[in-house]
Chain A
Amino acid sequence: MSAVRDIESVPGRKQVRLGRLAWSLRPRSALVPAVCLVLLVLVAALNIGRGSSDIAVFDVLRTLAGGGDHAETGIIFDLRLPRTLAGVLVGAAFGLAGALFQTVARNPLASPDILGITWGAGVGAVSVIVIGGSAGQVSGVVAELGVPLAGLAGGLVAGLLLYALAWRRGLDSYRMVLVGIGLAAIGHNVVYWLLTVGDVDDATRATTWIVGNLAGVGWESIGPLALALVLLVPVTIAGVHTLGGLQFGDDTARGLGIRVDRTRAVVLLLAVALAAVATAVAGPITFVALATPQIALRLVRSPQPPIVGSMVLGALLTVGADLAVRTVTPGLPVGVLTAILGAPYLIFLFLRTRKEARA
C-alpha cells in the first residue's frame, strides 16, 4: 500500500486552495515580495520626508493614512508625494517590463534598455526638447505633455521595429537580442546627434531627462502612468501561467498547447508599452529593468523572473536610489545611482550563484 501513499503528493509543491481556486505556492515567492514591500513603504516614507524641511517617517506614514496636520498634509500631498509615487510606479513598470522581456527572449540580457526601447523613447523625447525648444514653438501645456507623449511614441516605434526585424517564421529570441542591440546603438547615436544640434540650454534639459530623473514629476504625469499600470498589470498576472510555458523550447511550449508566436507578440507589446510609458515619465532610468528581474529571480530562487517580485523590487530599487542620491549628492538625477547600486549587486549575485552551482 506504500505505493498508493507515495502518489498522494508532490514534494516541493504545496497546494493552496480557496474554494474552486487552487495554486501551488513556495514560501519564498510570497516572502520575498512581502519583505520588499515593507522595505518599500519605509524607504518611500523616508523619501517623502526629505525636503527643505524634513518630516519624520512616522509623521509621513500618519499623514498618508489621513491623520496628519494641515501643513504636513499640504506639503506631503501637493509637493512631495508625486516624486516618490512616480518612483514607485516607474520602478514597478521597469521591473515588470524587464521580467517580460527576459522571459520572452529566454535571455537575461534582454531588457528595454539593451533592446533599444528606452532609446527609442529617448529619441522621441529629446527631439521635442531640442527641436521644439530651439524653434520656440513648444511651450506651456504642449511642452508638459509633448515630451512624455513623444517618448511614448518613440518607444512604441522602436518596439514595432524590433518586432518586425526580428520576425522570421516566428519570433527568434536570439535574433531579437541582436536586432535590439543594433536598434539601441542607432537610438543612442541619434540622441547624441540631437544634443549636439540643439542649443546649450535645451541640451542640458535633455541630458537630465536621458539619465533618468524623478525631480520634475508632478501629479499630471502620475495619472497616465497609474492608468497604464492598472490596465497592463492584471493582464500580465493572469498570463503568468502561460508565460511559464515559454521558458521551454518552442516545441515543448507548442506541445503544451501554447500559441507560441501569438503569446510572444502580446507579451512583447505589453512590455514595450510598460517601458515606453515609464520612460516617457521619468526618462530611461538605467539598469532597473535589466537588474531587478535577475535579482528577484535569485532571491525567490525561481527558474524564471518572478512577475510580482520584479515589480516590487523595481520600485524599491528606484525609490531607494532616489533617496540615496538626494541624501548623498542632492541634485544628481536618480538614473546615475540605479546603475551604481544595481550593477555591483547583480555581479555579486551572479558570482554567488556560480559558487553554489559548483559546490
Chain B
Amino acid sequence: MTRPRLQAEHVRLGYDERIVVDGLDFDVADESVTVIIGPNGCGKSTLLRGMGRLLRPRGGSVLLDGKRIDKLPTRDVARTVGVLPQTPSAPAGLTVGDLVARGRQPHQHWYRQWSAGDEEAVAYALSVTGMSSFAERPVDELSGGQRQRAWISMTLAQQTSLLLLDEPITYLDLAHQVDVLDLVYRLHTERGTTVVMVLHDLNLAARYADTLVAMHDGRIVSQGKPGEVLTEELLSDVFGLDAKVVSDPVAGTPLVLPISAHLRDEV
C-alpha cells in the first residue's frame, strides 16, 4: 500500500462560530478517483476546501504527500494541487484565453510570464475542453456550460498531479457532463492524475469513482467501492431518499432509481 497523496487527520473545519466538520479522517490514495457524495450542507465542499488549503483547519491537519500542507509554500502546493471552487468569479470582460492562461500563474515569474511551456499548456487545456474557438470571447458572455468548461480548462492549465473539483458538472447538460467526466477519467488513466470530486449525480458518481465517499452531518458515513457504498439503506439514511438500486446495464455500477411519491404504492 503506497502512501496516500492527500490526508486529513482529525481535521476540524468551519466558518466563524459554526463548525461544519469535526475530527474527520480521510485518505486519498495515489492515482485514484475519489468522489464525495452527500446531501446539501453535509460538509462536502467544506472538506474539499480544507483539503485544498483554501480553508485553514481549526484543528488537526491536512497532509500533502506526507507534509503538512499549511507549512509548504502555497505556490509549490499550487504546482501540485489544482482546485476548482464551486462558484468561481472572473472580472467582467476577461477573455477565456486570459482566464485559462491564469492557471499558469504558479509556474510563472514576473520576468517570464508567457513562455513556450505556458503557451503549450494553455493551448492543450483549451483544446481538450473544446474551448479553443472561444479563446477571445469574454467569460461573462458565455453560457453556463461554456463558462464551466472554461474554468475547468484553467484548472487543467495548472498541470497538477492532483485535482480537487467542487461540482464540476453542475451547470452542464448530460452530454457535456459525460464529456467532462470522460476528460477527468482520461487524465487519470493517461497521466495518473489523482482526482477528488464533489458530485451530486449519484449514478455518474458511481460510474466514475474508484472510491465513493458518502458524507452526512460533517462525518464520513461510508467509504469504499461504489457497489459497497451506494445501497438502498444508505440512500434512505443519508439522503432520506426512497430508492431502488439496480445494476447499471451499461457499466455494471450501481444505478439509483428514486421512487417518486405517486409511484410508491405501485412498487
Contact = CB atoms under 8 A, between A and B. Distances in A.
A164 B125 CA distance: 41
A254 B53 contact: yes
B77 A21 contact: no
Interface string B55-79: 0000000000000000001111111
A219 to B, nearest CB: 34
B203 interface: no
Q: How extensive is the interface on chain B, given as a class?
A: 35 or more
Contacts of A247: 90-91, 94
A257 B105 CA distance: 8
A248 B95 contact: no
Binding site of B, secondary structure by majority: helix, strand, loop or mixed?
mixed
Nearest to B114: A24
B226 interface: no
Interface magnitude class on chain A? 35 or more
Contacts of B103: 256
B93 interface: yes
A11 B119 CA distance: 10
Contacts of A11: 97, 132, 135-136
Interface string A1-23: 00100111111110110001111
Contacts of A106: 91
Interface stretch (B5-13, B80-88, B193-201): B80-88
B124 interface: yes
A257 B94 contact: no
B110 A241 contact: yes
A248 B90 contact: yes
A304 interface: yes
B74 A12 contact: no
B78 A249 contact: no
Given A3-B127, A10-B119, A24 B82 contact: no
Given A249-B89, A304-B91, A255 B127 contact: no
B221 interface: no
A241 B114 contact: no
B120 A249 contact: no
B106 interface: yes
Contacts of A169: 16
Interface string B107-125: 0111111111011101110
A139 interface: no
A241 B113 contact: yes
A21 B118 CA distance: 13
Contact of A248 (B74, B88, B136): B88
Interface of B: 16, 49, 52-54, 73-79, 81-85, 87-95, 97-98, 100-103, 105-106, 108-116, 118-120, 122-124, 126-127, 132, 135-136, 155, 158
Given A6-B132, A303-B94, 9 more contacts: A7-B132, A241-B110, A242-B105, A248-B91, A251-B54, A251-B85, A252-B85, A252-B89, A303-B90
